[in-house]
Amino acid sequence: MDPRKRRTLDALLHAAEEIFRERPVDEVTVEEIAGRAGVAVGSIYNHFGSKAGLHAAVVERALDVDRHYMDRAYTANRSPRDQIYAAAEEYLRFYLDHPDYFRMLAFPNEPGQYPAGQELSARLVRSVDEQNARLVAALRHGIEAGELRAVDPEEVAAILWAAWNGIISLAWRPDSLRRTESELRAMLATATDVLANGLLPRN
């Protein structure tokens, strides 16, 4: 890609990420994004087709980054139980390295009324389903191998995902419930350990 085009794309994506973090997409104008990026408004239409297209590109970039982190958890050299622990750790690393991406995916804004927003909301749901499917697979393999007791893997995966999101969200609490990085890591390990031990086969 031409270096000048690359710089324009990166500037627009960076500016859009900042502004979409501050306000809902429906309240943001293309003029604001272009102004913060230091480029002409036409660049948004040239490269992304519309504001909705730019927003979709931002979300897709966040999804790609999230997928990269989770790929490191679900490796063949780990047992299903270890994959669950690794997934919790990688999810925390994703948040610590990319907090704005984490919020965008875990706690998205209302999609608004425009069709592209509805489509993007559906894309986020599919992404969550894709990640949960990997967790479900790890649980199912552990059950089949006798490493974990027989449970509903889809239900347990949803519980784990919800617990991880809830714990990590304590990082931005404005009160005494706020937790530091080390405290979050300890809480995630404890929560995962409690669940994982509860999944062990009963004698």
Domains of the chain by residue range: 1-49, 59-198
DSSP character at residue 151: -
Integer Cα distance of 69 and 187 in angstroms? 20
**What pLDDT was estimated at residue 118?**
73
Cα 87 to Cα 69: distance, rounded to the nearest angstrom: 9
List, in order, residues 6 or more apart from 91 with CB less than 8 Å away.
69, 70, 164, 168, 188
What would the CATH number be for the domain defined by 59-198?
Answer: 1.10.357.10
Q: Would you tell me the crossing angle of helices 181-198 and 80-97 to the nearest 10 degrees?
A: 160
Residue 157, Cβ neighbours under 10 Å: how many? 22
What does the angle CA 57 – CA 62 – CA 66 come to, to the nearest 5 degrees? 145
Query: pTM of this prediction?
Result: 0.82
Count CB neighbours of 17 within 10 A: 19
Closest to 133 (Cα-Cα) out of 108, 110, 111, 160: 160
> Tens-digit pLDDT profile for the chain (203 aa)?
677 888 888 899 999 988 888 887 888 899 999 999 999 999 999 988 888 888 888 888 899 999 999 999 999 999 998 999 999 999 999 999 999 889 888 877 665 555 666 777 788 888 888 888 999 999 999 999 888 888 899 998 988 888 899 999 999 899 999 999 999 999 988 888 777 677 666 65
Q: What is the DSSP letter of 175?
A: S
Tell me the helix, strand and coil percentages in the chain, rounded to 5: 75, 0, 25
Name the CATH superfamily for 1-49: Homeodomain-like (1.10.10.60)
Integer Cα distance of 57 and 59 in angstroms: 5
